[in-house]
Every structure is written in C-alpha cells, then in structure tokens.
Structure 1
Amino acid sequence: MLKNIYVTPLNFIKSATSLQQQVRTTFVLKRKYDPPLHKTNEKPRRMRAKNFIYELVEDTLVKKRPNMQVVLKTFVEGVGDKGDVVSMKPHFVYNKLLLPGLAAYNTPENVAKYAKTEAEKSAVKHSSAYAQRTVNMLESIVLAVVMNKDEPWVLEPWHIKASLRKAGFHCREECITLPKERIEGPDLKKESKDFYCTVTINKLEQARLKCRLHHWSTDPSERLPYVLEHWKLQSEPLLDVGSPEKST
C-alpha cells in the first residue's frame, strides 16, 4: 500500500519532466576588466575576482528579427498592390500575408508569376495602398459643419474643407462635391440634420462623407446649448437634400 502511495507521485513527476522542451539561448559577453597577461612558456597568472565580471553585449533572445520580403498576390489595403515586393516584420508577414494566401516568398519565380499583366496595369483600381484606408476613415465619421447663426450664408466647398481640417483631414476644394440642392441659412430647422458630400481621393477613389449642420453665434447669449458627443445621437436627414451621386 505504501509503495503505491509513493510511486504514483513519482510517475507524475517523471511524465511532467519528459514534456519539458529545451530552450537554447545565446548571450554574448565581454570581460569588464582584462585578465593579466603572461609570457610564453610561463605559468598563467591567477585571475582575480574582478576578472570574472562580465558585461552583456547581446542577448539573441530579444534580438530584433530582420524584415521579410514577400511578393503580393493581390491588392492588400495599407500594404501594396499585386506584384509589389514589400518588406515588413516577420510576425505580420506570417499571420496577415502568408497564412491567408495574400503573398508569397520573394523569389525570382514568384516575382515573374505574380507580376501584373498589361491589361491589369491599364485597369487601375487603386491609386495607392493607403487610399482605401482613407476612404474608410472618412466614411466612418460624422463631420460637424459649423455655420454662422447671425449672418446669411450659402454652403460652399471651402466650408467642408475647413471642417475637415478641424477634424484632422486636409484636402483641396476641387476634391469636394456638394449635393445638387442648395443649402443656405441660417435656419434652425436644419440644426443637427445630416447631409452627404463626396470627397475624391487621388482623382480615383471616392468617399461618401456624412456631415451634420450646426449653428454658432459670436454672441454668447445667442449660442445654442452644447451637445456632448453629437455624432453618437440619432439625426434626421436634411430636408430636400440628398447625397451626391458617385461618378463611375
């Protein structure tokens, strides 16, 4: 009975140690103090304790791995287009490009295999690797367009340009297409109502930008109450104003 009691834990310990995997690490060290020299054919001088003090030069376990070069098989947002040779971090390459089958290793055979044909070069779908990401960002926000409450105005592209600049986006006026219907004010019936405009990126991609109209007065007593996080609130479309059609 005692034998069974003591043997069973030992078996568990033995099985647990057999599952351990050896990890090899390499550390590059150098002596902080040079050891004493000795002449040829003489007995080496005894080293002191300070001669056994080392400084760490390199730890291969935390050494930064070099980037990997791969050839893209198709367009990848934020990375590149088909046939491009890109150099990125190994972790990203393995998990986001190689495993999903979006890229192949950079070899002369793969470069020739996935190169764009003449027909694909003529049919441009993306102006750059980051254009679609910009489109997604613009279409995910609600742009606050602040207009004067006291003076008459007519909405123009430069109003949208100024509002985009306040939101952290920079674009030209000729890239902004307003709705066909005229938007003018001040009109408190249009307060906090939405309309859409189109922003053209690199003369190719188009983003459908959602805008929300707000009135602001220079007189503090005439200002409307401040609405916290207005983009999270439900809103109605601006009357008789639709979104501009995207050109094909």
Structure 2
Amino acid sequence: MIRTFLRPLQAVRVVQIPVRTTVVVERVNPLTKLRPWENIYDYNKYKYADFQYRVVRNTDADKWGNIDVILTEYVEGVGYKGEIVNIPREMAYTELLPAQLALYPTPDNVALFEEERKLLVDRPQISPFVMKCRDYLTTILLQIPINMKVKDWSLTRDNVRIALRRMNVMCDEDAILLEDGAINKDTYKLGEEFQVTLKINPLVDVSIKCTLVPVDKAKLWDEYQLSKRRAKT
C-alpha cells in the first residue's frame, strides 16, 4: 500500500525558474568584536543577535515604473509606428515586447524606423485618453430624461449634454451634432434607440447609442419637497 501512494509522488517534477533580484539588508545590532587572534569565520563565537538583519530594499517588491520603447506598428491608445513612447514596464513586458509590437530604443532600432519618425512630424497627435474616452462612449446606452407630457416636445442638445453629465462626461453643446427638432413627439416611439454624434476633438468623433426616458418634472419636484419635509421631522 505504501508503494502505491509513493508512485504518483515520484512522477512530480519541480521546475525551478531563476529570478534575478536584489535584497539590501542592514544589521539590527552591532557585530560582536573578536580578539585579533580569533578566527572571524568561527561562527560559534558570535551571538544570535549578530545574525539579525533588517530589509532596507527589495527590488522584487519595488514598483516597475515606466520604460521607453519604440513601436514597430500602430498601437491604438499608445502611439504610431516608429514613435518612442514612455509606457508602464508591465505593459511593455507582457504585451508589446513579446508580440514584437515594440522594441528597445537602441541606436540601431531608432535608425531602422527613421523614415517613419520623419512622417510623425506632419501626423496629428491624438492623446491615448481620447481613444479610451471614445471606446467607453461606444459601449454605453445613454438614457436621456425628457418630459414627454409637454405639448410638442423635442430633443435638444442641452438634454443630451445633461444626460452625459450624469455619466460624468463633460462637453459643450457645440460638440453635440444633433439637428434641432429631428427627434420630437411625432417621430419618436417610446423605447426606440437612436444615435447621437459627439465630437471629442477636431479629429475624433463618436456615435453614442441613446434612448429617451420619460420623466414628469412636476412629480419629481413634489417628491423632492416631500423628502425635505421628512428630513426636517
């Protein structure tokens, strides 16, 4: 029976992966002074307190920080081909460098993409935060509250701006591309979805999926006044 239990354990193979790290330590207590004729390598002459250390720095626990790389292809939200960008080390080591989307900016690699780097001067620069904002807005369904009990109501850019503000997206009315009176009482059906274009900057715009939510402003005002009375009592 004992051999039967040991056989599966014998098949287990331990793979050791070497990790390069540095740990800087300092002594907690001063080292015991030995006499000149005593052997300093005779550890029996030392005390237990002589082997107590305090960790000063552990490079394995330090933050990675950023690193400069040169892109070999266009990476959305990062940069163009041939551009030298400063990105987090984790992103460089786990995504870009293994996929050959970036290289270390050595003199040879910089010279290899010299032609692409010259074209970057005339190419418009787009912030990665703009692309993240665009990607976020393409995934949401913007619920626009509007009072449908008003006679001849119509959707305005101000309604869209207020709805975006509720989603923590600030913009001007001029950035919202919407025809006045395009969506009104006669053209809109309750629950129907439509698209509104928002210009994030002069180069990037995004189509946002929207729907209208009927709201009775008078009812909301009554509820607000009632909540204030309850708070006082």
The alignment's TM-score, normalised by the length of structure 2, stands at 0.71
Q: Which amino acid aligns with 2:159?
A: H
What is the CA deviation profile of residues 46-95 of structure 1, one whole-angstrom value per residue up to 9, with x for unaligned ones?
A: 54332332222233443444543210123212212233212333342133
Q: Which amino acid aligns with 2:167?
A: A
Q: Which amino acid aligns with 1:21?
A: Q
Partner of 1:140: 139
CA distance in 2, matches of 1:58, 1:89: 21
2:31 is the counterpart of 1:35: yes
2:122 is the counterpart of 1:127: no
- When residues 74 and 188 of structure 1 are mapped into structure 2, their CA distance, relative to the original with a 3 A threshold, is closer
- When residues 196 and 62 of structure 1 are mapped into structure 2, their CA distance, relative to the original with a 3 A threshold, is same
Q: Contact 1:198/1:209 (CA < 8 Å) preserved in 2?
A: yes
- Equivalent residue pairs, number: 211
- When residues 195 and 179 of structure 1 are mapped into structure 2, their CA distance, relative to the original with a 3 A threshold, is farther
Q: Contact 1:178/1:196 (CA < 8 Å) preserved in 2?
A: no
Partner of 1:21: 16
Q: Which amino acid aligns with 2:16?
A: Q
For 1:48-87, list aligned pairs within 5 A. 48-65=47-64, 67-87=66-86
Partner of 1:211: 210
What is the CA deviation profile of residues 122-159 of structure 1, one whole-angstrom value per residue up to 9, with x for unaligned ones?
A: 454x6333333322221211100101234344322121
Higher deviation after alignment, 93-102 or 165-174:
93-102
The alignment's TM-score, normalised by the length of structure 1, stands at 0.67
Amino-acid identity (%): 27
Consecutive unaligned residues of structure 1, counting only runs of 5 or more, are: 1-5, 224-248
- Secondary structure, aligned partner of 1:174: helix
For 1:167-246, list aligned pairs within 5 A. 167-179=167-179, 182-185=182-185, 190-220=189-219
1:196 to partner: Cα distance: 1.3
CA distance in 2, matches of 1:84, 1:192: 46
CA distance in 2, matches of 1:189, 1:67: 51
Q: Which amino acid aligns with 2:106?
A: T
Q: Contact 2:64/2:90 (CA < 8 Å) preserved in 1?
A: no
Partner of 2:225: none
RMSD: 3.7
Q: Which amino acid aligns with 2:107?
A: P
